[in-house]
Amino acid sequence: MAIENANLINSQTAKTQRRNILEKNESIGEVPPHAHGAQWGVVIDGEMELTIGGETKIYRKGDHYFIPAGVMHSARFNSKVFVVDYFEDKNRYNSK
């Protein structure tokens, strides 16, 4: 699948019961502050502003991030962005 056609793709690993997600976000504004289980991610293309535990950074192609479990975080998508996220919570998103 070409990355420009990606929406939200889930794959769940049987051993770990964690979820891997490829996301494409248009320039949609902000995701409000929230918290959940641990999350690891890498920016494949584009740019986003991520605030983790009160610290804000800009993430671009090749940058990676870690959000510890229970830590408040929010995001702002300033452009189209593709990220791969790995969530500790197996039911974070439903499969499509």
Contact predicate 89/21, CB 8 Å: no
Note the pLDDT of residue 6: 44
Q: How confident is the model at residue 31 (pLDDT cuts 50, 70, 90)?
A: confident
Fill in the DSSP letter of residue 89: S
**Would you say residue 12 has pLDDT above 60?**
no
- In a 13 Å sphere around the CA of 93, the CA atoms on its Cβ side amount to 17
Give me the residue spans of the domains in the chain. 16-87
- CATH code: domain 16-87 is 2.60.120.10
7 CB-contact burial (10 Å; exposed 0-12 / middle 13-18 / buried 19+) = exposed
Measured over the CA atoms of residue 38, residue 89, residue 24 and residue 30, the dihedral's sign is: negative
Residue 86, pLDDT score:
86
Alpha-carbon gap, residue 68 to 49, rounded angstroms: 17
Q: How far is CA 79 from CA 73, 75, 87, in A?
A: 19, 12, 23
